[in-house]
Copies of this chain bind each other. A is one copy, B any other.
Amino acid sequence: MSNPPPSGGDLSRLRQLNALSAIRALRGTEPLPLSAIASRTGLSRPSTKEVVDELMGLGWVEEVPPTPGTVGRPARRYRFRSGSGYLAGVDIGAHNVRAAVADLDGNIVAETRQAVRPDTPVADRLAVVERAVAGCLAMSGLTAGNLWTVVIGTTGLVDRDGRVIFSAAIPNWSGLDLAGLLGGKFPCDVLVENDSRLAALAETRRGVARGSREVVFLHIGRRMGTGLIIDGRLHRGFGAAAGEIGMLPETRWKSAITHLHGCAIVPEGTPPEDAAGYVLAAARAGDPAAVAAVERYVDELAVGAAATVLTLDPELVVLGGGFSRSADVLLPPLRSRLEAVCLRMPELRASTLGDECVVLGAIDYAADHLDRQLFAADTGPALPLPLSVTR
């Protein structure tokens, strides 16, 4: 069971606020008995019972079966249903559009990938995004009305309003009001963020950076980017333009990939999207020309990585993105170059989230957005959640 879309208010304001308090009390904790919910919400026990019954009727809260073997009559316990609503995450790249739908705890229920081209027209790429989310929903027996938040990750520089200021990878993407164009397509909040930042977030939530508060995420694949976690938070900068060390000519990040694509061992006719993988695999097997090409590629990667590390002094550098599955080939030469210039050497780890790091980060970002709304709800005038439903 999942919830129908919001449709005007039939819960009174007070009942909505009480319901929000109860949801807050139950979200992210173990199942609680009524007494604990009452104590956390400050409601009387009868009011708590009433609110919890109502939330059970709406499908947002469920009773947990008593633990077998409990002596005496155990108190009934309740938990927030992570399937009360759903989150969608999308990764719009130059060559692929990935999408996933997850429950409110971030568990993925369906995902899709569709190939596109850097020159795919804007309208076509947006249509792919819509079809990708619709496909995930259809596979899961859900509709758009079940979505509580949609987060779009995209290559390029994205401002706070969800506009793509600049994208080198998708030329027709620069200047696009992506939040505006996609906002009307879903009956919930639609947020847009830079792909490398979302991937960095995913690493701190479900990847190799869990527990670290100072992280530099190096997003490497056909293009390079960084996502920065500073003091435990995603760092955007004053104008949402942080992490763009690749713009510094001295880093040579824009041309680094040519060392792999242009390697002489690549068989004629290999599609560009397979050339780098071919060279990385040959380097793993010890081919001298491939090893030399990888060394030159890492030379370029290392300058921007070292600049970011020297600026921030992170605990951890995570190598992620499409090339992270070749981390065994890339990490040793990257480590030696960083050691040569860094005053304090951070730990280096390879991501295990692979190509899905952005879409997972989009889901995690959507869950954060939802939690911010839940926890801010009693200070603001508006209720952000679809709590006023038709029954």
Chain A residues close to B by CB (< 8 Å): 157, 165-166, 213-214, 226, 228, 230-231, 233, 235-250, 303, 306-308, 310-315, 341-344, 346
B244 and A313 form a contact (CB under 8 A): yes
CB < 8 Å: which of B238, B313, B341 contacts A237? B313
B235 and A312 form a contact (CB under 8 A): yes
CB < 8 Å: which of B242, B249, B315, B346 contacts A311? B242
Q: Which 9 A-B pairs have the closest CB atoms?
A: A237-B313, A238-B315, A242-B313, A239-B344, A241-B313, A241-B344, A307-B307, A214-B238, A250-B250
Question: Using Cβ atoms and an 8 Å threshold, which residues of chain B touch A247?
Answer: 310, 341-343
In the assembly, what is the distance between CA of A344 and CA of B157, in Å?
A: 10
In the assembly, what is the distance between CA of A342 and CA of B244, in Å?
A: 9
Measured CB to CB, the nearest residue on chain B to A347 is B238
A343 and B165 form a contact (CB under 8 A): yes
Extra 12 A-B pairs, beta carbons < 8 Å, given A235-B312, A239-B344: A157-B343, A165-B343, A213-B238, A230-B231, A238-B315, A239-B313, A241-B342, A241-B344, A243-B311, A247-B342, A247-B343, A311-B311
Question: Using Cβ atoms and an 8 Å threshold, which residues of chain B touch A243?
Answer: 311, 313
Question: Using Cβ atoms and an 8 Å threshold, which residues of chain B touch A341?
Answer: 247-249
Question: Using Cβ atoms and an 8 Å threshold, which residues of chain B touch A228?
Answer: 311
Question: Using Cβ atoms and an 8 Å threshold, which residues of chain B touch A226?
Answer: 311
Measured CB to CB, the nearest residue on chain B to A303 is B250
The copy count of this chain in the complex is: 2
Most chain B CB within 10 A, of A242, A243, A315, A342, is at A242
Name 28 A/B residue pairs within 8 A (Cβ), A-sorted: A157-B343, A213-B238, A214-B237, A230-B231, A230-B235, A231-B231, A231-B235, A235-B312, A237-B312, A238-B344, A238-B346, A239-B315, A241-B310, A241-B343, A242-B311, A242-B313, A244-B313, A245-B307, A247-B342, A247-B343, A248-B303, A248-B306, A248-B307, A248-B310, A249-B341, A250-B307, A307-B307, A311-B311
B244 and A310 form a contact (CB under 8 A): yes
Q: Return A366 CB to nearest CB of chain B, in Å.
A: 23
In the assembly, what is the distance between CA of A310 and CA of B228, in Å?
A: 12
Question: Using Cβ atoms and an 8 Å threshold, which residues of chain B touch A249?
Answer: 341
Question: Using Cβ atoms and an 8 Å threshold, which residues of chain B touch A239?
Answer: 313, 315, 344
In the assembly, what is the distance between CA of A37 and CA of B310, in Å?
A: 47
A314 and B248 form a contact (CB under 8 A): no
Question: Using Cβ atoms and an 8 Å threshold, which residues of chain B touch A236?
Answer: 313
Measured CB to CB, the nearest residue on chain B to A242 is B313
Q: Return A306 CB to nearest CB of chain B, in Å.
A: 6
Measured CB to CB, the nearest residue on chain B to A250 is B250
In the assembly, what is the distance between CA of A119 and CA of B238, in Å?
A: 42
Q: Return A76 CB to nearest CB of chain B, in Å.
A: 36
B166 and A343 form a contact (CB under 8 A): yes
Most chain B CB within 10 A, of A157, A242, A248, A310, is at A310
Q: Return A252 CB to nearest CB of chain B, in Å.
A: 10
Measured CB to CB, the nearest residue on chain B to A237 is B313
Q: Return A237 CB to nearest CB of chain B, in Å.
A: 2
Q: Return A279 CB to nearest CB of chain B, in Å.
A: 25
Question: Using Cβ atoms and an 8 Å threshold, which residues of chain B touch A308?
Answer: 311
Measured CB to CB, the nearest residue on chain B to A166 is B343
B346 and A314 form a contact (CB under 8 A): no
Question: Using Cβ atoms and an 8 Å threshold, which residues of chain B touch A244?
Answer: 310-311, 313, 343
